[in-house]
Amino acid sequence: MRPACTRVVLDCDTANEVDDQFAIAHALGLPPGTLDVRGVVSVHNTLAHGPTSRDLYQEEAERVVALCGGGIPCVPGAERPMEDRRSPVGSEGLEFLVEEARGGPLTVIATGPATDVASVLLAVPEIRENLRVVWLGGFGDEESYERFKMGELNGRADIAAWRVLLEDSFELLQVPGWPGPAKLLVEAEPFAEELRALGRPVADYLAGILLEWVAGYEGDIDPRGKKIIWDVACVAAVADPEAVTTGRLAIPALDAAAAHDFSRHGREVEMLTDLDAGRVLEGVLSALRQHPSEVPGGKET
């Protein structure tokens, strides 16, 4: 008997960069029977876009889902970080996640700050038995932490939620940005050409925002003219686990300022340590090919 496909909710800070948009389109274009995507929850990233970030991300999630043909709800999640490790942030997204988890085993693919998933664990602790979280954030080793600690936005945007995620007892696959997802580096212009060659409105849209991001980028994480498509690593980890390497590792102690102490260990969690970048990116392109060649209000391409 074929196992039931995995029920998932995507919890994203869509439009923080451009990789959440790729992750949503990736998940929604996978072959039938791979993932049962129940919805997209939009979480804030006030560190990146201030107090109205959640609403900006909600609009973008709705746009991308519509370009993929729609059919799933987009629900607003937390609009701010947690005040402390004991105080969940209420939202429609929190209620949606609780309802879905009560309906059976649920994987939350979280590609932004951990506010929503930490709030679920705090608000309804008994639900953790049905919950698996795949979260892109944090660090798996001291070298990456020392090199990139100020470039890790998902954790620093809600440190209290980050600590809940690492310290609570539930099933977690942590996906540190380095070294695994950082391998998902594309040259923007050639990759945009590949996207446009697919003849899909959502792929055209992704090509456009990719080029716009690279043209305006002034940071020091992405090399000039290139972009790391971080978040698709989380989708691949659930949909194509043979494309990634994971192992159980003890997490370091984490204080209220997000400082890591690698000499003190907390609980062991499953952690993504490597991935096959070519396989993951080909999986993204394959998924995009499955999306509509026309959408309402658009034109056939």
Whether the CB-CB separation of 80 and 46 falls below 8 Å is answered with: yes
Nearest alpha-carbon partner for 181 in 47, 20, 28, 30: 20
Domain presence at residue 49: yes
Show the domain range for 219. Answer: 6-288
Q: What is the pLDDT of residue 299?
A: 43
* pLDDT band per the 50, 70, 90 thresholds, residue 1: very low
Residue 71 burial (CB < 10 Å; 0-12/13-18/19+)? exposed
CA 18 to CA 206: how far, in whole Å?
Answer: 8
Domain presence at residue 296: no
What CATH number is attached to the domain comprising 176? Answer: 3.90.245.10
What would the pLDDT profile of 13-67 be if each residue is shown by its tens digit? Answer: 999 999 999 999 999 999 999 999 999 999 999 999 999 999 999 999 999 999 9
Q: Is the pLDDT of residue 2 over 70?
A: no
Q: How many domains does the chain have?
A: 1
Q: What is the pLDDT of residue 177?
A: 94
Q: What is the mean pLDDT of residues 231-249?
A: 97
Nearest alpha-carbon partner for 227 in 193, 271, 196, 181: 181
Domain presence at residue 149: yes
Domain presence at residue 297: no
What is the DSSP secondary structure assignment for residue 4, as one 8-state letter?
A: P
Q: What is the pLDDT of residue 3?
A: 53
**Residue ranges of the alpha helices (H) in 50-131?**
53-67, 92-102, 115-123
What would the pLDDT profile of 265-298 be if each residue is shown by its tens digit? Answer: 888 999 999 999 999 999 999 999 999 999 876 5
